[in-house]
Structure 1
Amino acid sequence: MDVLDNYKKAWENQPEESNKVSSVEIYKMAHSKSSSIVKWIFIIGILEFIFWGAINLTIPDSFYKVYEDLDLMEYLNFFMILHYVVIAIFLYLFYVNFKRVSLVDNTKKLINRILKIRKTVKYYVFYNLATVFLGSIILNVIMFSDNNKLMKVMNPDNLALDIKQVITITVISQVIALFIILVLLWLFYKLVYGILLKKLNKNYKELLKLNEN
């Protein structure tokens, strides 16, 4: 049982004339915890942005050779730039949420702000997963639009494979890779942002009870 739970239990057992004083302390505690959680959401978002940026900078050029041979670099660069712009917008929203939570001065406003924060984080997670999925689908559609180029790039050693076999092998490998990436991303978001949202939701429920009383 944390400090907020102790405050809540003591508050519920106090005489009515003491409840007003205790409710202020409970609000201050919930406000402080909510502000701290939102700050960590913003910090983790920044660290995630830096991490993926560093990964992209350290990937060797040879990794992109297949994309270059398939004339997909222009599309890939477009998606990456657009993705980072959208992520930057989300980070700005995280920062705005943190500042606004820090400045709210009553229970009702804090409840509404927490609701908006939860939605923003959920949209952020959904956007990242959807971007990986849809981006992969679009790139693959473009890639499979030219069978001759696909055959040349995916079968450079001229093995005894026809175009159907090459497409089958490519699709299977792409589906497996996409599935692994999506699962790892989902687990990461579930672990990191899921824990923070769970704590924020707990504060939200406590504030609802406080507001009702």
Structure 2
Amino acid sequence: MSLDAKIDGARQLLREVLDRHGPRRVAVAWTGGKDSTLALTLWRGVLRDGAPGARPLALNLDTGCKFPEVLAFRDRLADEWGVEMHIARPDVAPGYPVAVDRAACCRDLKVTPLLLALRRLDVAVLVTGIRRDEHPDRAARPAREPVAEPPHLRVHPVLDFTEMDVWAATMQLGLPHCELYGRGYRSLGCMPCTLPPEMAGDAGQGAGGERAGRAADKEAVLASLHALGYF
């Protein structure tokens, strides 16, 4: 499938979301990374055409361990694009042992704040930037993924895009991206769990590919995190 066909398919999926749910109960899970920025861009375009004047709603998980470059990019772009951004932060005690038990850390710093924010905002649809080819756990995901608690639908418009597709779309649509990509990072997570791919081998992180810089023990439990409510 060509890139243009993938973009058209993603837009059609989002148009169906808008037609069924309207603009106010749809949020984009926006990390500040390239994939979710593309998803946010596509949703903005659908809103512009189908609900003029509606501001895109973005939900951002700020674990307290994010790269300052990612946060600066997020804040600047949200302001430039008129994004209504809600930042979900964890409620943990000072001195929380970050990245000691990575599964527990992701649960406490990401999953729990995410689910609380979805309830608080009464989100009916969460649009994500996940892709099939970035992790084995995501390979068989459906484009529309119902979640029981809290009840909502997760929609993955760039699920069938490859890493190269995302960068090609980024260039084609003239989208900005975080400066860390220019320094060799291919996938941006929390600072304790993310290294540039060229450093990952020496540090024992990852197993090659786009997410090679992510902590291997965290990557191994992504299926469990998904079962808890992560995307």
- Identify the structure with bigger relative contact order (alpha carbons < 8 Å, sequence gap 6+): 1
* TM value normalised by structure 2: 0.24
Instruction: Give the structure with the larger strand fraction.
Output: 2
Larger Cα-atom Rg: 1
* TM value normalised by structure 1: 0.26
Instruction: Give the structure with the larger helix fraction.
Output: 1
